[in-house]
A and B are shown apart, each in its own frame.
Chain A
Amino acid sequence: MTEPHDILFRTLADPTRRALFERLCREGEKTVGALTAKAGVSQPVVSKHLGLLKQAGLVRDRHEGRQTHYSAQLSALAPLVDWTGQMTRFWESRFDDLENLLRRMDQ
């Protein structure tokens, strides 16, 4: 069960990779060249990081001519978020307030 989490955490733990992923999230699809221009590292290094992001399911690549375009896959982050747990806590907390209210209401 923890394995997908481990891969996501390990992949995003590296600041260069995280910066690449965040940029794809913010700015949408980009080519390797465009990403390299602002990454502060060489193109082979960027390509290596993109490969690891792809393995983790965090980015998707699309080939067009000689260019490879990368885009972020936000849904890959879903295992990190326990939203059913959050909604359960939300309703439990609402019900606390509901009971509180009922105690103050007449009849």
Chain B
Amino acid sequence: MNTQIRTVVVEREIAHPPEKLWRALTQPHLIAEWLMRNDFAPVIGHKFTLSGDWGSVECDVLAVEPGKTLTYTWNHPHADPAFDLRSVVSFTLTPTGSGTLLRMEQSGFRPEQKQAFGGARHGWEQNFTNLERVLAELE
């Protein structure tokens, strides 16, 4: 059996300085606006929960380097090993001439694992739709 651990990488050029982006990544009321409800604190060892309508993700802060790096675990415990996700999410901010290169790396997926959020696919999509509506109303 293939035992290789898989990684998801998403990168984006953001037209805002790292300091501002850092606030959006680390202040709970701002995290709630783009990711999920949470009790985050930028303190190594701090345990927090990201909550969506479909369920929640258990997190543990692993690394904090203000304005540069933020790493936390992204665990979604499940009795069935095929659904049980133990992963690590790492955000890296690199200043560019016009803003910041934001890199998100999520690693820990096992190849035999089904998508880790079970039947929650619909839940995610619903979540995005709700969020987009909220954001549209704020603008």
Which A residues are within 8 Å of any B CB, using their own CB?
A: 74-75, 77-78, 81-84, 86-88, 90-95, 97-102, 104-105, 107
Q: Number of residue pairs across A and B with beta carbons under 8 Å?
A: 84
**Chain A interface SS verdict (over half):** helix
A83, A101, A102: the one contacting B116 at CB < 8 Å is A83
Expressed in whole angstroms, the Cα–Cα distance for A88 and B115 within the complex equals 11
For chain B, the bracket of interface size reads 35 or more
**Chain B interface SS verdict (over half):** mixed
Within 8 A of A (CB), among B99-139: 102, 104, 106, 109, 111-117, 121, 124, 128, 131-132, 135, 138-139
Looking at the assembled complex, report how far the CB atom of B130 sits from the nearest CB atom of chain A, in whole angstroms: 11
Expressed in whole angstroms, the Cα–Cα distance for A95 and B33 within the complex equals 11
Expressed in whole angstroms, the Cα–Cα distance for A98 and B112 within the complex equals 31
B16 at the interface (CB under 8 A from A): yes
B35 at the interface (CB under 8 A from A): yes
Q: Are B24 and A101 in contact (CB under 8 A)?
A: yes
Query: If the complex has contacts A90-B124, A91-B10, are A102 and B20 also in contact, measured as CB distance less than 8 A?
Result: yes
